[in-house]
Amino acid sequence: MPKVLRMTLLSVRDLLATAGPFVGLALVLLALAYWLLDPTPPHRVTLATGAERSDYAEFGARYVKALAAEGITVTLRPTHGAADNLALLRDPGSGVDLAFVQGGVDEAAADDGRDEELVSLGSLFYEPVWLFYREDAAKRLLKADALTSLAQLPGWRVSVGAPGSGVPHLMQRLLEANALDVKGLNLLQQEQTPAVVDFLEGSLDALVFASAPESLMVQMLLRTPGVRLFDFAQSEAYGRRFPFLSPVVLPRGIVDLAADRPAHDVHLVAPTAMLVARKGTHPALVQLFVQTAQQIHGGPGWFQRKGDFPNVRNTDLALANEAQRFYRDGPPLLQRYLPFWLANLIDRMWVVLISIVAVLIPLSRVVPPLYEFRIRSRVFRWYGQLRAVEAAIGERPVAELLDELDGIEQRVGRITVPLSYADELYALRSNIQMVRRRLSGRNAAPVANS
């Protein structure tokens, strides 16, 4: 090995040996902080959605695609709807981490604190109550062209959604507000697809959805001849009586501008869909879902302008801390420029990193003295043997001491030190020569006397 390379490697080895304990302590502290803070979110999460072809299912598919780009695998859990989703979130053994939940689906539980283990990530979109009815049913049952009040529903065959969805409970409250006895009405609870089939075939007179307009069934029924949409003319009154409902307007022509469909503004009432998580959900995962919600739900739509959603209004549950931080400050600064995993790691670890640095800086001051001691000790340890040789002059044979001195000199010749410490090595060699001269003088003295 070339001498220059050997000296370089030895210097690096000395530096590593000296700073090794210091670096090891830093790594132990970092590992402990990482374990305690757990900054990396789980890579798999389960999201409860809704029935097939529902708005929850459609939006769930978008979350799967968006979060896959961040390395998060989202497993969708089909359900009947909001009531089922809420029950799954309350069940620790269900395996569901997050879910879409309709506002007001269980207002009593939120009011009395039974949902203190659940947190909201914000309101995502309006879910208008779509009451579709057949024109021929209105003419047959009302002798009129249109249904104008929920109080006219006695005698109608109405599907109010599947068991487990939020619609049956919602419709019950709306009907009771109109002084109707629900038990005296012909209300059916059916899955969405079978209900639509029966409705189109004439087995049902009306059916009710609570869904975003992106739902395929809503889009299809809005364009079906002979099907009309109920106009909640008292939408403002409903909104005042039920805090979880908002009056919204389906603008004229929004469905089809060319065909002018609908031909006039239609008033609707709408609960708000929320994204709900367990309270123990990883904060980084909450942050990522809220940011994804902004991407998916932040655009303009039939009932909102760009930027209206997601928001913190109309949430029945307490807002998650990370979600509150996002709505107040926006995305963390680093996440605007770095990949999510790296920005999240720095964002959650920086306080600890500063604390560790503050502890290690004073300790780091001992590294240079230790390094200097390690290098100089290679030279200084030979002074002990050199002094022993010098002290033995006159007590041991000169030839024996010269042999021992030759051995010391040979071993010292193999010592390598950084250039900054070369003066120490050359000083040692000079002192060896000084002792050699003394021994040589002692050896020559008897010859001079003869």
Q: Where are the domains of the chain?
A: 38-123+276-331, 128-270, 366-445
Q: What local confidence, expressed as pLDDT, does residue 445 receive?
A: 56
Distances (CA, A) of 60 to 57, 76, 211, 219, 297: 5, 7, 14, 18, 12
Name the class of domain 128-270.
alpha beta
Helix (H) or strand (E) holding 338: none
Beta bridge partners of 210: 129
Can you tell me the distance from the alpha carbon of 439 to that of 434, in angstroms, rounded to the nearest whole number? 9
Helix (H) or strand (E) holding 206: strand 206-210
Q: What local confidence, expressed as pLDDT, does residue 233 receive?
A: 95
Looking at residue 111, its amino acid is D
Q: What local confidence, expressed as pLDDT, does residue 90 receive?
A: 92
Structure tokens at 327: 């709505």
3-class secondary-structure state, position 198: helix
Structure tokens at 292: 């994804």
Asked if pLDDT for residue 125 goes beyond 60, the answer is: yes
Over residues 61-77, mean pLDDT = 93
Would the pTM of this model clear 0.75, i.e. be above it? Answer: no
Asked if pLDDT for residue 180 goes beyond 80, the answer is: yes
Question: CA-based angle 34:35:39, to the nearest 5?
Answer: 50
Over residues 353-357, mean pLDDT = 73
pLDDT-derived band of residue 154, with 50, 70 and 90 as boundaries? very high
Three-class DSSP labels, 343-363 = HHHHHHHHHHHHHHHHHHHHH
Q: What local confidence, expressed as pLDDT, does residue 36 receive?
A: 66
Among the residue ranges 277-291, 301-315, 346-360, 430-444, the one predicted with the least confidence is 346-360
Asked if pLDDT for residue 190 goes beyond 80, the answer is: yes
Among the residue ranges 93-97, 106-110, 226-230, the one predicted with the least confidence is 106-110
- Ordered DSSP codes for 374-390: HHHHHHHHHHHHHHHHH
Task: Examine domains 38-123+276-331 and 128-270 and report if their fold is the same.
Answer: yes
Q: What local confidence, expressed as pLDDT, does residue 417 receive?
A: 75
Comparison of pLDDT for 3 and 128, the residue scoring more? 128
Distances (CA, A) of 254 to 64, 216, 224, 265: 29, 16, 15, 9
Asked if pLDDT for residue 278 goes beyond 80, the answer is: yes
Q: Is the dihedral of CA 82, 88, 89, 94 positive or negative?
A: negative
Beta carbons of 206 and 171 less than 8 angstroms apart: no
Question: CA dihedral in degrees (295, 299, 304, 310; nearest 10)?
Answer: 10
pLDDT-derived band of residue 375, with 50, 70 and 90 as boundaries? confident
Most distant CA pair in the chain, distance: 154
Among the residue ranges 239-248, 370-379, 395-404, 438-447, the one predicted with the least confidence is 438-447
The percent of residues above 70 in pLDDT, for the chain, comes to: 87
Q: What local confidence, expressed as pLDDT, does residue 37 receive?
A: 62
Q: What local confidence, expressed as pLDDT, does residue 349 receive?
A: 67
Asked if pLDDT for residue 113 goes beyond 60, the answer is: no
Among the residue ranges 47-51, 163-167, 237-241, the one predicted with the least confidence is 163-167
38-123+276-331 maps to CATH 3.40.50.300:
no
Strands in 73-77's sheet, in edge-to-edge order, are 73-77, 44-48, 98-102, 272-278, 118-126
Question: CA-based angle 145:148:152, to the nearest 5?
Answer: 100
Asked if pLDDT for residue 252 goes beyond 70, the answer is: yes
